[in-house]
A and B are shown apart, each in its own frame.
Chain A
């Protein structure tokens, strides 16, 4: 089982995470939802994601997650073009519950503006935010 909130990820107050990689001088962000989000959602039954080539915009909705009880929007941590989609989630949405930071990843984005990363939270800051919220 992966850590609750891995140190190498960036987080948002909407409970998404982003893993940043440098490739050929460009930055790519792999995006998913946090352990906290998964615990709040309960069993995920459907994940709706954008297609490769579509644009996502920081803090705007890029998809949704249906759990047994409810549907929740997904908010993009960064702006950019979708370069990869975790298509197995379409048949196996339970990966989001079982392994939110690895097999449960959702999309990978070519980051348009690396400055946006400055506004994301570290693992410590995200956990401090959760504590502030009384969680």
Chain B
């Protein structure tokens, strides 16, 4: 079982540790998932995401290699900017979802899911082009997410980077946090404003302690994987292994906005073009439970007439909304707001209704 450099910090904070894709990770701290969730929505949450993978692409062929591997348009990425994207199989099925950061014309970094990082690295190496060195820097890279409406205000005193100049999906590589070298990116996975701080894994404990103290001063908290999941679900951000996998395509998953079918070629483009032309037979659809009941991953979904319609990929409470929500793949004809569905919650059909867009959207988007 692997441990992040913050393992001792979690134990000190009294975290409940669980096995997550071969990593010992905090699922929650003594405050509990709901309080951690609310702290992130109202103040700031501090997340250990050191387990995520960081893959560097370097060399004259770096841009061409990254473009071959991801569906988004690498040519439009400027230095200091990042985008969300997916990597696909030739079938269009998703290898992983990831964020690609451009440091320079000959240097890109992909941040990938922890549970996929070995698979991704092998896939990238297998399909990398010429003049591109591909290196897995996951072990020596620490990553801490600092997310919430008070993130900018409370991080600013710890860093030299003027955070107001850092737009969403921008990053600074010449940053210091608490005097230690770091990159600061305005990215995250919670639906809030916030930052992801990359550092040497050996510096991660010191930076973590500074961030915990800064967060604590405004009612913020360390947040475990439990609330990370409820936060991302409320914001309707898909989770690989639940909502995305190698049998689903980005078009079905509602990620068409990161797929540039008319741009440069990438693995899976032909299959995705065919799928786009033929029309989608199923779509990842969001729903709220309109009766008492909690949809969970794997539960069956039915249409209004009681016919089988699909399967829940993610589901559970949306603590900010005080509702139970879910995602699942259903025929496209049902993916219309207001459509009535039901979910088999342990033998009981519970009514639900299709909704569009994020379940939770923060009131003041700030910069965009």
Contact = CB atoms under 8 A, between A and B. Distances in A.
Interface of A: 42-43, 45-46, 64, 66, 68-71, 90, 97
A69 B33 contact: yes
Given A69-B226, A71-B294, A42 B33 contact: yes
Nearest to B18: A69
Nearest to B32: A43
A42 B296 contact: no
Given A66-B294, A71-B296, A42 B226 contact: yes
Where chain A touches its partner, the secondary structure class is: mixed
A42 B27 CA distance: 10
B32 A46 contact: no
By DSSP majority rule, is chain B's interface helix, strand, loop, or mixed?
A: mixed
B352 to A, nearest CB: 15
Contacts of A70: 296
Interface residues of B, number: 18
Nearest to A40: B16
Contact of B294 (A45, A90, A97): A45
B27 A69 contact: yes
Nearest to A94: B34
B294 A43 contact: no
B230 interface: yes
A61 to B, nearest CB: 10
B230 A68 contact: yes
Which residue, of A69, A70, A97, has the highest number of chain B Cβ atoms within 10 A? Answer: A69
A70 to B, nearest CB: 8
27 contacts: A42-B16, A42-B28, A42-B32, A42-B33, A42-B226, A43-B32, A43-B33, A43-B34, A45-B317, A45-B324, A46-B292, A46-B293, A46-B294, A64-B346, A66-B317, A68-B33, A68-B34, A68-B230, A68-B317, A68-B319, A69-B27, A69-B33, A69-B226, A69-B229, A71-B294, A71-B346, A90-B292
A66 B319 CA distance: 13
Contacts of A69: 27, 33, 226, 229, 316
